[in-house]
Amino acid sequence: MLRKLMLPGLAAGLLSLSLAAPALSPVVKNTPSLQLHTLLNEHWAWQTRESPESATMRGDHRYNDQLRDMSVAAAQARKAQMKRFHERLKAIDAKELQGQERISYDIMMYGWGRQIEQGAMFGDLPFAGGFGDGWLPISPMHGPNRTWGMLLRTTPFRNVTDYENFLQRLNALPTQLQQTEAWLSLGLKSGWVAPRAAMLRVPDMLNQFISADVDKHPMFAPFTRFPANIREEDRKRLAEQGRAAVGEKVNPAFLRLQKYLRDTYLPGARTELAAGKLPGGARYYDMLVADSTTTRMTAKEVHELGLAEVKRISAEMDKTIAKIGFKGDRVAFNQHLNTADFNFFKTAAEMLGYYRDLAKRADALMPQYFTELPRLPYGIRPMDASEGANPERYNSGAADGSRAGYFEANTNDPRTRPKHWMAAVLLHEAVPGHHLQNARQQELKGLPNQRLYGGYSAFGEGWGLYSEYLGEEMGFYDDLYSYYGRLSAEMHRAARLVVDTGLHAYGWTREQTIQYLVDYAGITRAFAEAETDRYIVWPGQALSYKIGELRIKALRRKAEAALGEKFDLRKFHNAVLDNGSLPLDVLDQLIEEWIAGQKKFYGLK
């Protein structure tokens, strides 16, 4: 799973933040080209100012002393501003745009339009669709419980100014958490409230930022390891100010939010799980399905596709079990793998070592499958203990190349992470999956920042799952157990089509969903519980993996059929990646054009 700071609506990735926009290409005054460039640059600068945490995570440190204003007034202003940006975009004569400019126009029209549509569903409420200005500012998957851990890993601490900027953020944190509480209260009053079952873990997730011993508090850690260039008197002053900020402001603020969640929000949370039971009704979930898949598929179509994929993959899994020689059915084999000592590491260090060995093997194979590769490296590190059983993820590197990307392995309890899954997980999160795709995107030339640093889940997660499949051709699954793990991972994504729609459109219970994942996806119960809570609070997102993977596979088959022996898999992969993350319909169009160009180059009919 690719982890980016979530922002409002479908265009979350498109509104991700980074460095200042590249210089404009030479254009004539008042042309549609100039209008588009001007609009995108203004939008980028505005969004960067509005979401300073995301800017920091992307390597843009101009706003490191600020936090996002989450007041209702600020959210209403952002909602109105996005409408103005969208109106200006619609006023541009798109027929006069060519090449990448026309692609950029189409992508923005799609993404911004979907965001405006979502915001309209909430009427006068300030909500704008997704996380950030969405109706749920904190959950097991996002919020201050996640953002501050990421900020601690991405904020620079190189000089006195960096520390003073961080102090300003610490001192501003109580206001932002009070705004989070106000947001949740508005949700309770309006009916936009999360299911209690999926939110039960959230109060305890805040414990990581509550410590009676300030010296052991994670937010005080930067004040215990100053760089050598900072003078002793400055170290003493900054440490005193840091201790005061953490002890007198940060701790009380998180305690207050934790108490509010336990005493007010959870008792008022709804018992129904389905997104279709929210005030927006079934239409709301339909919009989330469209956002996550970038298709026009209905919940019924997605559910039926999931059932068909589960059936297909089940047959291959059963064949593999027979080859292994296990006596018993697939449920029994999954239970065996989830309890057998040989399939688990004893320590976190052993798990990390294994992942790093897999990464070295994968890195060496990449030139065989791509014509151009990104320069940005990646590392492998353990996930924070507060994450519990949450899934592994990739965190993108800094846009300026100053910070590598990272695959975060969940080493919190080695007995919840069977070894036979790990090869597929590494391919998905690192290379050729999220790291390769995301780093390559950031290094593309001549595209607006919205395309360099944004994205669509169906594209990114679809590519990640396709990367797991590609591991077969790479010879990466060198035994039947790891191959079965690949199938299990694919089954997990197919099962998501069934259970996400089951929860939100067909009335499935939490226990029914957990058991389906255990029986079909073959994951441990602890993992299935965490996954189910994710689907409950993040409706639709889990659909993106399989829908995107199937589309990429279909485009590859089309290219292979059209080009025959002239088909070059390396060129195809770069053709998919080298326009950045796209809605699937736009990807279709661009691959059709690439096929036509290849046919012309080779003189094919």
Residue range 243-301, pLDDT digits in tens? 999 999 999 999 999 999 999 999 999 999 999 999 999 999 999 999 999 999 999 99
Torsional sign, CA 178, 183, 188, 193: negative
Domain range summary for the chain, segments of one domain joined by +: 1-133, 297-546
pLDDT of residue 132 exceeding 80: no
184/259 Cα distance (integer angstroms): 13
210/333 Cα distance (integer angstroms): 42
235/8 Cα distance (integer angstroms): 39
What's residue 130's pLDDT?
A: 58
What's the rounded mean pLDDT across residues 356-384? 97
> C-alpha dihedral over 454, 456, 460, 465, to 10 degrees?
170
Across-strand partners of 379?
406
What's the rounded mean pLDDT across residues 542-550? 98
What's residue 540's pLDDT?
A: 96
- Give the whole-number percent of the chain exceeding pLDDT 90: 87
pLDDT of residue 466 exceeding 70: yes
CB 204 within 8 A of CB 129: no
Element (H, E) at 379: strand 378-382
pLDDT of residue 13 exceeding 50: no
- Give the whole-number percent of the chain exceeding pLDDT 70: 95
pLDDT of residue 545 exceeding 60: yes
What's residue 389's pLDDT?
A: 76
What's residue 105's pLDDT?
A: 97
CA 401 remoteness from chain centre:
20
Query: Which region among 259-273, 341-355, 369-383, 515-529 has the lowest average model confidence (pLDDT)?
Result: 515-529
Query: Which region among 21-30, 61-70, 360-369, 490-499 has the lowest average model confidence (pLDDT)?
Result: 21-30
What's the rounded mean pLDDT across residues 496-521? 96
For the chain, what is the largest distance between any 2 Cα atoms, rounded to a whole number of angstroms?
A: 76
- Which of 394 and 8 is assigned the larger pLDDT? 394
What's residue 29's pLDDT?
A: 66
What's residue 1's pLDDT?
A: 66
58/515 Cα distance (integer angstroms): 38
Residue range 166-215, pLDDT digits in tens? 999 999 999 999 999 999 999 999 999 999 999 999 999 999 999 989 99
Burial of 437 (0-12, 13-18, 19+ CB in 10 A): buried
Residue range 147-163, pLDDT digits in tens? 998 999 999 999 999 99
**Closest-CA residue to 520 (of 537, 533, 502, 507):** 502
226/98 Cα distance (integer angstroms): 51
341/329 Cα distance (integer angstroms): 20
What's residue 131's pLDDT?
A: 56
pLDDT of residue 11 exceeding 60: no
What's the rounded mean pLDDT across residues 106-112? 95
CB 17 within 8 A of CB 54: yes
Across 273-305, b (16+ Cβ under 10 Å) vs e yields bbbbbbebeeebbbbbbbbbbbbebebeebbeb
Count of CA atoms in the C-beta half-sphere (13 A) of 538: 23
**Closest-CA residue to 75 (of 7, 15, 11, 14):** 7
